[in-house]
Amino acid sequence: MTIETTSGARTAIENTRFFVKMAAIMTAVVVLGFVINLLMGRSSFDAPWQYHLHGVLFMSWLGFYLVQHITAARGNFVLHAQLGKAAYLFIPAMVGAGLLIMVTVARRNGGPFFFNVSEFLISNSALLLCFGVLSIWALRVQRNIGWHRRLMLCAMAILTGPGLGRLIPAPILIPYAWFIITAVTWVFPLIGMVVDKRARGKVHPAYYWGLGLYVGAFAVSLAIAYSPIGMGITEWVIEGSNGANRPIEAFLPPGFSM
């Protein structure tokens, strides 16, 4: 991987507006999903501390992600770089809090009923780790604007899943809800690839690597989740908890209605 040419860097700067728009759209999707869920009474602030820690960190990241795009769009790269250093602490904290909340939710109620418990616990955890890998990679190549912003977009696409899952009528998608919701998040990198093709005449390799790792991690995580080892891990995690009282497969609760 080499530093882009002057022409390539100029093209990347000219495309800044697109990345700001995508950052705003992805942020709005996540926030809207959670706000609508809250207004409809499907969630509340009356939850264990793990939920609040997770919520504060991930919502703060949304603001941080958007602010970073705005500083870049305004050409304030000094501030952008200074703020970017905080991401080295932010990202591991998010991954840790995310893994903690998945175990907490799995033991508390087995996760959303429209997901298989093993899907929710193992595949979800793998995608969170994929977010961490892509984000850190993006930080390590921040001097290469093209790679940096595209890898970050692919990483951020992973985090839109929970928001989209609250906007899409997941119960009617059983037993494919997890796959469909995840696949919808791939639209964001795909849009970037189309824009690249039109603006540059070719797709930047960062998209192939970023989306490729995302899709690959998803495929491997599902294989593990449904394997005897994965199911064994899931059963071990929820053993003796309320989460073990629900079917491990996705299901519709008795009397459920949209």
pLDDT in tens, 164-206: 988 999 999 999 999 999 999 999 999 999 999 999 899 999 9
What is the C-alpha to C-alpha distance for residues 203 and 151, in angstroms, rounded to an integer? 13
What integer pLDDT is reported at residue 92 of this predicted model? 96
Query: Tokens representing 241?
Result: 């908890």
The whole-angstrom separation of Cα 204 and Cα 200 is: 8
Cβ atoms of 22 and 153 closer than 8 Å? yes
Tell me, what's the pLDDT at 61? 95
The answer to whether residue 46 scores a pLDDT higher than 90 is no
HSE toward the beta carbon, residue 157, CA cutoff 13 A = 29
Residues whose CB falls within 8 Å of the CB of residue 248, separated by 6 or more in sequence, listed in order: 110, 116, 117, 118, 231, 234, 235
* Mean predicted lDDT score pLDDT of the chain: 90
Residue whose token pair is 């595209």: 150
pLDDT at 2 over 80: no
Does position 77 have pLDDT exceeding 90, yes or no?
no
What lies within 8 Å, CB to CB, of 166 at 6+ separation is: 33, 34, 36, 37, 42
User: Is residue 239 within 8 Å of 106, Cβ to Cβ?
Assistant: no
Give the SS3 label for residue 166: helix
Structural domain spans, the chain: 6-245
Mean pLDDT to the nearest integer, 84-113: 95
Supply the angle between the helices 16-39 and 49-73 in degrees, to the nearest 10.
150
83 pLDDT band, cuts 50/70/90, is confident
